[in-house]
Structure 1
């Protein structure tokens, strides 16, 4: 991919170095090193919870710490789980401290954190079924108020409500959220959940998230916007257990959802390094087999597909985030070899290609020399940088409108 195809990801800037007296520092060799991207390269990394809380045996902790080191070497975004059934299995006993510790651990390592999800009919609190619909809605809104407030400043991006296209017609099992979505309607429940989340954290980035990429999701988004609901980003799940979408479908999905003019986040991306799930499986959850191995041949295929998909998405001007759903094969959804590292923590080719792209091809690192006015000009990917001059290090941000920055050495 040529860098001119990524002009929207880059900016021009000048840096003027001066000494304490304001005199320009001419002829000085400096290194500019990108330390973080503005673009979110994310991953579902639930293992951050036991690592941050250090609540597992020492040998297990050491294994998970090695896994997290691999994660931190590539990604700058993390998704943490807020599935109500596991977050608050007993009413009144939410796992707020554990998740706060994990979010803080990640944030301290310059990783932005997203909470997933605040409202979903699957894995919702089982005790909601003991309540009437009016009280279910009150409990759901109270849950949002409590959790969004508790994590303000630690988690400022939320999948507010998940998979609403199917929510009111979901019939696998009874649950409280489907009940109230039938009462309120799809747009009605979205409006309630977004309004409460916005009230509790006005500056948060709020997503509507769905696996359904048909016209039904487009109609739902259009209805929300016409109802005055402010959606900060459209979340698109892309679990591809039944095979890679391919360039044609990916570009077609991007074209259809781009007409809203909203940022797009690919929130849950899966490409396996094993055999492809049979096409006749309608609900991915129905495919359960005892062993789904990763193989060298399919690992190479996974790497090629991830490379192409990330390249297409990174090139698109409205895409602001891509989240690989499973970092490791260990514990991956459906038992699929869906990670970019194997169950033993060894990196797959897909890990290596993502690291090459994110930390190499799509990063800016250079050594330059200031001119007679103490200035250097450069063109780089937007994000966070470190300027190294001798034994001094100065951090700065490169944005589209940075212009000339004056730094004192």
Structure 2
């Protein structure tokens, strides 16, 4: 089976929809118009660029580590972003979120999350606990107090964003956390993880977040996809920590992994029976990073331009990668790491839109998958004598209408029978 056929076979489902009028009577032998409104699958991208726009800021925006586009540029990107993606990741990197102790960026991130929610977009926070970007002031506290400060930080953010943020990367990159070195100073979260251990550190992040908002989805996230991460996952699950999904990063600055490697990773991590979220995905549209680079952060160049040949390669890679991921039933979410090259991580031309605001071929290719190949176009069908009509499509939100009367309904794999009452 080809990757294109595999994705469709895994995702497409059938449902029998019964259409009723406002009085409950079935709309028998009537032509109805069925339209898809939203995918259930989480097609994600970072929402960093829209913080300033969502807060109606003028000119530059307060930088939250990775900053974002100025409001005018974000306004030009808005339509492109919303036309493809339905899930936004917002930045809660502690160093940028609370550079001054007691002055967190809560209000602006609440406003940004609400801005996305108003546009039908689900919101994820990234991350609650991470060793790399800790605020300078945390290092002033004695080691004996750091754990409670971290716990309080988790509770505060999850509580403040409850109802706006559905999902959190509860903790990030724990495989290297206790051995991470910083030449300038010892990282207090690394020191905490070294002192109490990886699994207790993961437990504190998950349990504090769960207590603050029991309905949230909590992810264990890492870039290290070796057996070390597998061993960590096994230990966490054996310890009874409730993990809702496994996060897998795939920054492919050195080139697309290919279907074989991607499928091998999927098989290894799907055996835990947990949903897989591909939390950070990039594919470059310029020269590839040299293969001998071990830590991607070590690749420093003055310029890293997008090129015509690179853009064609990126478009092909994006299609191959997404088809492979969506062809596996364990995958529930894929987040592309950046809509635009402007301000992209490591300066790489990994965005789907050029710095001048024009879409690359990769953007058009991904949109073609999400909104064409994997999308049910407006379809006219006829109900039977009981008001029933079969509908086949990808799970998500749909509408059905007769004339000016309409209703929304949900196509679900686990619900082969649906009803909609026109209003």
Q: Given the two structures, how large is their TM-score scaled by the length of structure 1?
A: 0.97
- Which piece of structure 1 moves more, 369-378 or 96-105? 369-378
What is the CA-CA distance between 1:203 and the residue it aligns to? 1.2
What is the CA-CA distance between 1:28 and the residue it aligns to? 2.1
Which of residues 13, 16, 22 in structure 2 aligns to 1:14?
Answer: 16
Instruction: Work out the CA distance in 2 between the residues paired with 1:261 and 1:404.
Output: 27
Q: What 5-or-longer segments of structure 2 have no aligned partner?
A: 61-68
C-alpha contact 2:7 2:323 (8 A) present in aligned 1: no
Instruction: Work out the CA distance in 1 between the residues paired with 2:409 and 2:147.
Output: 45
Q: Which residue of 2 aligns with 1:143?
A: 153
Residue by residue, what CA displacement relative to the aligned partner does 1:144-174 show, whole Å, maximum 9, x if unpaired?
1111000001012000110110111011342
Q: Which residue of 2 aligns with 1:133?
A: 143
Which of residues 116, 120, 125 in structure 1 aligns to 2:130?
Answer: 120
Within 5 Å, which residues of 2 pair with 1:365-384? 365=377, 366-384=379-397
What is the CA-CA distance between 1:5 and the residue it aligns to? 5.1
Within 5 Å, which residues of 2 pair with 1:194-213? 194-213=206-225
Instruction: Work out the CA distance in 1 between the residues paired with 2:272 and 2:405.
Output: 46
Within 5 Å, which residues of 2 pair with 1:184-333? 184-333=196-345
CA change 1:135–1:404 in 2 (3 A) is same
Q: Which residue of 1 aligns with 2:65?
A: none
SS of 2:189 mapped into structure 1: helix
SS of 2:48 mapped into structure 1: coil
What is the CA-CA distance between 1:195 and the residue it aligns to? 0.9
What is the CA-CA distance between 1:404 and the residue it aligns to? 3.1
SS of 2:202 mapped into structure 1: helix
C-alpha contact 1:156 1:201 (8 A) present in aligned 2: no
C-alpha contact 1:233 1:263 (8 A) present in aligned 2: yes
Q: Which residue of 2 aligns with 1:51?
A: 53
Q: Which residue of 2 aligns with 1:42?
A: 44
C-alpha contact 2:285 2:314 (8 A) present in aligned 1: yes
Instruction: Work out the CA distance in 2 between the residues paired with 1:408 and 1:208.
Output: 40
Instruction: Work out the CA distance in 2 between the residues paired with 1:22 and 1:159.
Output: 44
CA change 1:210–1:20 in 2 (3 A) is closer
Residue 63 (1) aligns with residue 73 (2): yes
Within 5 Å, which residues of 2 pair with 1:88-99? 88-99=98-109
What is the CA-CA distance between 1:14 and the residue it aligns to? 1.8
Instruction: Work out the CA distance in 2 between the residues paired with 1:3 and 1:379.
Output: 15
Instruction: Work out the CA distance in 1 between the residues paired with 2:209 and 2:35.
Output: 37
Instruction: Work out the CA distance in 2 between the residues paired with 1:169 and 1:259.
Output: 27
Which of residues 157, 160, 165 in structure 2 aligns to 1:155?
Answer: 165
CA change 1:5–1:301 in 2 (3 A) is closer
Instruction: Work out the CA distance in 1 between the residues paired with 2:53 and 2:296.
Output: 30
Instruction: Work out the CA distance in 2 between the residues paired with 1:148 and 1:64.
Output: 26
C-alpha contact 2:50 2:71 (8 A) present in aligned 1: no
CA change 1:134–1:408 in 2 (3 A) is same
CA change 1:171–1:381 in 2 (3 A) is same
Instruction: Work out the CA distance in 2 between the residues paired with 1:256 and 1:407.
Output: 41
Which of residues 74, 95, 98 in structure 2 aligns to 1:85?
Answer: 95
SS of 1:73 mapped into structure 2: helix
SS of 1:47 mapped into structure 2: helix
Instruction: Work out the CA distance in 2 between the residues paired with 1:204 and 1:370.
Output: 39
Instruction: Work out the CA distance in 1 between the residues paired with 2:7 and 2:91.
Output: 35
Residue by residue, what CA displacement relative to the aligned partner does 1:3-33 show, whole Å, maximum 9, x if unpaired?
5753442332222223344433233222211
Q: Given the two structures, how large is their TM-score scaled by the length of structure 2?
A: 0.93
- RMSD in angstroms over aligned alpha carbons? 1.6
SS of 2:413 mapped into structure 1: coil
Residue by residue, what CA displacement relative to the aligned partner does 1:118-144 show, whole Å, maximum 9, x if unpaired?
000111111111011121111110001
C-alpha contact 1:383 1:399 (8 A) present in aligned 2: yes
CA change 1:282–1:408 in 2 (3 A) is closer
C-alpha contact 1:126 1:175 (8 A) present in aligned 2: no
C-alpha contact 1:300 1:349 (8 A) present in aligned 2: yes
